[in-house]
Structure 1
């Protein structure tokens, strides 16, 4: 089941406000989806995710197939029961993980032969197998198996001919994914994925053929795969707003706060990225006023919170009142610097909570601005604030 209601559009851009109804709940868009690769968003309790406003999270088909395996998943009725998250879940197809295996995999028309990175077993992933795994996972949004077209292939930039070959196979795999999804009578929603590398005309061909297949929703894949930022922005400006207006649009694996605001401007409804969680574990913090490196020595005796405007548990404590509004709860930069230096697990847990809260709050501010007709002003203020620096 999927219903998408378009609630508001921005007259000065392609930005739009929507509501997505899925089998496990309603999602307000534009939305950022935290990534829970192995059935958990690293370092964050499910209750904390709910408190910070997460509406939908990701699971990873490839990794959950490897561990704990489909027999375990089936015994829990799917991923929701296994990880105790009862709101919507989107699972990727496994295509990106297969791409990242490099020489450990062999891609053919039938599918992908590869050695398990867990125990070396010889395995096979096809569009049909991906649909079967995702049906067991019972994710609300299922992604077709595609070939993630790389920016570079064996040391050279992917050519137009290589990108076309990859894109056309992804279209054939889309048809096979759709047929198997229907055969399995999966009650959830299947998205098609637009490919085509850095070539706008290939993106357009992919888009048009997928639209003919009439998927409930569409994703833009094959970005954030090593290309320069201006190349990614060029594809972002070309593709999302050309997808059907009455269906949700998902930009896969993107990105920085600036990428999210630009993506919304170009008509994207849904985003995911490991950046807020991965960067938090590596000491990079996203704030309203730019990025902060908590490992820098200057934070050793800094009494400020990570972000004086933030109401997350790391910044405001249990009061939920930001320093900007007179609160004095939460944890100092000095304390978080100390935890990082000592390798204490509480450090990355708190910084992860903050980064995810920042991303989710940014999307909430965008939704409010779209409702109020002030999205242009928000974009301008966002750019000013982020440039100010911490």
Structure 2
């Protein structure tokens, strides 16, 4: 994997770059649609490629390991062959999912013991076998196994958790360097910064992660219960230390406003389930603000979903028609809304990239953040 910075914003830490992988080029800043179980919910891959213009998608190690299972993925020749997506794929390590299984997992020095949410069967993730699983999945970008600390954790817990993540990282990185890809193309491995909401821990973690010389670095453990301003503070703290010549991936974040604020602070890559999850529940993100498509006010509004044309569906369907589909509980409603929201997110990071090149990113961002929070 190569990363080239093409332009730095003069008034902030924002930058525009190019990530090159064996499955294609990614223009940063970039948003990655979440394809948890080998699919992006309610969206065809031809729509992701041709309409949404997705350049990379995310797969989930925990879910793919449980179903369809590693044996099936290996028989298929990896996730790219299994689902037909021919562009880059990033996989998380499963750390967040294990963290979410609060009552069904136990952590120890070796790794995490957990029970499947599907059938209750017992499994173990270690820093080493998570590398093996991601080798079998065939992701272009793999994540280190970590503990995702709750945003409300006390200092002592956060410190012990961070130190465990660092020890796991050393083991995982060694195993990654001692193993080879399975499908004839290169894979890369990102360490993850932890440290909860404590600046000294975040600095310590960022320094430790930087010293491991990964080809990119991820920032984890944010948007997990801490105040938004604290999240922004931690991003600033971490990005003061993480290498500027390597991509920075903020995991699981977030709203359109979160993304613009993080771009301004030097983040390059994002993922979040929000565009599709909110879309399936009738919430649309637009360049004028947020719409609840079940509201009565849209019943006879025959204008496009976003009159600024941020999504290919804008001119195809009206607000009134989409409201009708949601009220009628038609599956097409969830599909249109998911496609629209993903297209909007990709439009937004694309516009951010344009304004970084143009030299007016900060002023444009301030205007957009105000607009994007409006309820229409």
Normalising by structure 2, what TM-score?
0.96
Structure 1 residue runs of 5 or longer lacking an equivalent are: 153-157, 317-329
Aligned to 2:271: 272
Contact 2:14–2:264 (8 Å) recurs in 1: yes
| CA apart distance, 1:389 | 5.2
Aligned pair partner of 1:353 in 326, 329, 339? 339
| CA apart distance, 1:358 | 0.6
| CA apart distance, 1:242 | 2.6
Name segments (4+ residues, structure 1) moved above 2 Å: 311-314, 383-390
Structure 2 residue runs of 5 or longer lacking an equivalent are: none
The answer to whether residue 212 in structure 2 is matched with residue 213 in structure 1 is yes
| Residue-by-residue CA offset, 1:143-183 (whole Å, 9 max, x unaligned) | 0000001123xxxxx11111000000000111111011112
Aligned to 1:240: 239
Aligned to 1:326: none
Distance in 1 (CA, whole Å) between partners of 2:201 and 2:12 is 24
Aligned to 2:296: 297
Alpha-carbon distance change, 387 to 196 in structure 1, aligned in 2, over 3 angstroms: closer
Aligned to 2:190: 191
Alpha-carbon distance change, 241 to 309 in structure 1, aligned in 2, over 3 angstroms: farther
Aligned to 1:56: 56
| CA apart distance, 1:387 | 5.6
Contact 1:251–1:270 (8 Å) recurs in 2: yes
Q: Counterparts in 2 of 1:19-38, with a 5 A limit?
A: 19-38=18-37
Aligned to 1:225: 224
Distance in 2 (CA, whole Å) between partners of 1:83 and 1:127 is 26
Alpha-carbon distance change, 388 to 275 in structure 1, aligned in 2, over 3 angstroms: closer
What's the secondary structure of 1:231's corresponding residue?
helix
Distance in 2 (CA, whole Å) between partners of 1:222 and 1:206 is 12
Distance in 2 (CA, whole Å) between partners of 1:13 and 1:270 is 17
Alpha-carbon distance change, 241 to 85 in structure 1, aligned in 2, over 3 angstroms: farther
Contact 1:288–1:386 (8 Å) recurs in 2: yes
Task: Tell me the number of residue pairs that the alignment of Structure 1 and Structure 2 aligns.
Answer: 371
Aligned to 1:313: 312
What's the secondary structure of 1:68's corresponding residue?
helix
Higher relative CO (Cα under 8 Å, sequence separation at least 6) belongs to 2
Aligned to 1:116: 116
The answer to whether residue 69 in structure 2 is matched with residue 83 in structure 1 is no
| CA apart distance, 1:231 | 1.8
What's the secondary structure of 2:148's corresponding residue?
coil
| CA apart distance, 1:388 | 6.0
Aligned to 1:66: 66
Distance in 1 (CA, whole Å) between partners of 2:144 and 2:176 is 9
Distance in 2 (CA, whole Å) between partners of 1:16 and 1:284 is 30
Contact 2:114–2:124 (8 Å) recurs in 1: yes
Contact 1:241–1:266 (8 Å) recurs in 2: no
Contact 1:98–1:112 (8 Å) recurs in 2: yes
Contact 2:76–2:82 (8 Å) recurs in 1: yes
Contact 1:167–1:196 (8 Å) recurs in 2: yes
Distance in 1 (CA, whole Å) between partners of 2:354 and 2:113 is 46
Aligned to 2:170: 175
Alpha-carbon distance change, 53 to 230 in structure 1, aligned in 2, over 3 angstroms: same
How big is the alpha-carbon RMSD for the aligned residues of Structure 1 and Structure 2?
1.2
